[in-house]
């Protein structure tokens, strides 16, 4: 089950809209049922039940799909990070007589209005987020994606689990993510990502992304 990624203000705004819509639909249905000759209690019960069901169903569709429309997302002031992102991980880890590591990386971010999940893939490592937050600064309108992650390294017989945190800023009309990460290895590095698709279905490893978008992956290799 994903954690909610809404701020307290966003959640309060959402609850107000939900309650207002339920009341509006319930009152309309109540008046309609009264005109049709239903008893008062029956009309009230049916109106409330139908109002809750209808608004909850519509909200479910909205949370999953509709809000991803760029116009609706802007109207709701909810930044959109959903999609497949590609770029480069630059790490301070280095070996003697070798340059610091620069590794092509893929991020798959799945977002609903309420939740966010992040997967990362390189040729030798897989990572997933355990805690996520999409933070907006009301004064500067800056947006940051912050997350805690676990990283699995399965390479040449090695089986290693690393934990860490990332802090990325959403820039360039929501088309780029740029920032830093830290791990308990300990290592520190920089991430630069750009959006290549809003379609995440079926992308569950680096090789799949490489086959689907070969030209963009090659650019960051």
* Cβ burial, residue 32 (10 Å; 0-12/13-18/19+): middle
- Look at domain 83-219 and name its CATH class: mainly beta
pLDDT 10s digits, 88-147:
999 876 655 556 688 999 999 998 888 899 999 998 889 999 999 988 887 787 899 999
For residue 72, the model assigns a pLDDT of 72
Q: How confident is the model over 183-205, as a mean pLDDT?
A: 91
Q: CA end-to-end span of the chain, whole Å?
A: 34
Q: How confident is the model over 39-67, as a mean pLDDT?
A: 85
Strand partners, 121: 106, 126
Q: Are 115 and 4 in contact (CB under 8 A)?
A: yes
Strands (E), 67-184: 83-91, 102-111, 116-121, 125-136, 143-155, 158-171, 176-183
**Domain coordinates in residue numbering, the chain:** 8-64, 83-219
Report the 10 Å Cβ neighbour count for 69. Answer: 12
Nearest CA to 110 out of 202, 172, 176, 194 is that of 202
Q: Is 140 helix (H, G, I), strand (E, B) or coil?
A: coil
> Higher pLDDT residue, 68 or 182?
182
- In this prediction the pTM is 0.76
DSSP H/E element including 189: strand 188-197
pLDDT 10s digits, 138-177:
778 789 999 999 987 755 555 678 899 999 999 998 899 9
> How much of the chain is in helix, strand and coil states, percent to nearest 5?
35, 40, 30
């Amino acid at each position: 089950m994903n954690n909610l990624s809404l701020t307290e203000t966003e959640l309060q705004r959402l609850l107000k809209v939900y309650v207002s819509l339920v009341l509006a639909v319930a009152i309309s249905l109540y008046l309609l049922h009264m005109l049709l000759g239903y008893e008062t209690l029956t009309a009230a019960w049916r109106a409330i039940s139908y109002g809750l069901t209808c608004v909850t169903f519509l909200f479910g569709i909205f949370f999953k799909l509709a809000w991803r429309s760029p116009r609706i997302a802007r109207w709701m002031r909810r930044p959109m990070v959903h999609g497949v992102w590609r770029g480069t991980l630059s790490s301070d880890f280095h070996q003697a007589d070798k340059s610091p590591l620069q590794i092509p990386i893929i991020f798959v971010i799945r977002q609903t209005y309420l939740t966010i999940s992040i997967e990362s893939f390189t040729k030798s490592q897989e990572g997933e987020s355990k805690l996520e937050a999409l933070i907006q600064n009301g004064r500067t309108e800056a947006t940051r994606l912050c997350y805690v992650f676990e990283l699995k390294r399965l390479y040449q017989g090695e089986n290693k689990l690393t934990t860490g945190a990332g802090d990325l800023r959403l820039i360039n009309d929501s088309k780029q993510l740029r920032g830093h990460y830290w791990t308990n290895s300990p290592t520190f590095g920089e991430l630069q990502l750009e959006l290549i698709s809003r379609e995440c279905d079926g992308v569950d490893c680096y090789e799949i992304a490489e086959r689907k978008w070969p030209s963009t992956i090659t650019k960051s290799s």
